[in-house]
A = this chain, B = another copy of it.
Amino acid sequence: MFKAVIGAEKLKEAIESVSTLVEEAKLKLSPEGFSVRAVDPANVAMVSLDLARDAFDSFEATDGELGIDLTKLNGIMEMADKGDGIELDLDETAHKLILRMRGLSYTMSLLDPSSIRKEPKVPSLDLPAHIVIRGEDLKRAVKAAEKVSDYMSIGVRGEVFFMEAEGDTDNVQLEMTKDQLVELKPGEAKSLFSLDYLTDISRIAGKTPEVSIDVGRDYPLKIRFKIADGHGDVSYMLAPRVESE
């Protein structure tokens, strides 16, 4: 059983945070809200989304699992205006999710959850350095790095957070000291990441005021931020690329 109403903007944010990595996902329902865990097909990045019932105008759900075509759901969301409320209604017998917005109703077939890639186990990592950066600064550095390379180093040197990309002839560097960041917990850290993934993630993260980054030495990166007025948590884990070539 699932019946809820939510602002279009909040649902959009939530869906996009996952659809940037995968096209289909299992949405886990509980009386407390919903959550999604997914890995991208190449097993490089993992996303974890939790949307609490407080993000909704109204929310009623029993434990369950819905197989969702995220690409399609994004398309449906385009029909809603920013201020619209979206009503979600599960038709369990027909295996359909009905979305209603200002008189319009869209009946979407659900996917068989067992046909969707299994959810990953989220590893618990103890990463030495912790940074909180403004979303737009992250996005800007990633965009700049794309000009010269397909990879980007992220790390902390002394009291300075850095993001660097080296091309064949040119290179790009962003250095931020504690006072230019929201927060900095120093620690030895430098890892190399694929810009393909960082671009997708920073497009989503770039819209939020504060993005938390945990990074280590040749270790996965953790990027976390809030959505839906603080009632949603999005977190990505991104595998490093070993530099030795």
Contact residues of A with B, CB < 8 Å? 72, 75-76, 79, 102-109, 137, 140-141, 143-144, 147-148, 169-176, 180
Contacts and interface: CB of A to CB of B under 8 A. Distances in A.
Contacts of A109: 169-170
A133 to B, nearest CB: 11
A72 B167 CA distance: 13
A76 B173 CA distance: 13
A224 to B, nearest CB: 22
Contact of A103 (B79, B169, B176): B176
Contact of A107 (B137, B143, B173): B173
A141 B175 CA distance: 48
Contacts of A107: 170-173
A106 B169 contact: no
Nearest to A137: B103
B173 A104 contact: yes
A180 B102 CA distance: 10
A173 B143 CA distance: 41
Contact of A144 (B79, B140, B147, B170): B79
A170 B106 contact: yes
A67 to B, nearest CB: 12
A76 B148 CA distance: 10
A138 to B, nearest CB: 12
Given A106-B172, A107-B172, 17 more contacts: A79-B140, A79-B144, A79-B147, A103-B174, A103-B180, A104-B141, A104-B144, A105-B172, A105-B173, A106-B147, A106-B171, A107-B170, A107-B171, A107-B173, A108-B170, A109-B169, A109-B170
A152 to B, nearest CB: 13
Given A108-B170, A109-B169, A170-B109, A147 B75 contact: yes
Contacts of A137: 103
Contacts of A147: 72, 75-76, 79, 106
Nearest to A147: B75
B175 A140 contact: no
Which residue of A104, A106, A107 has the most chain B CB atoms within 10 A of its CB atom?
A104
Contacts of A103: 137, 174-176, 180
Contacts of A108: 169-170
A148 B109 CA distance: 11
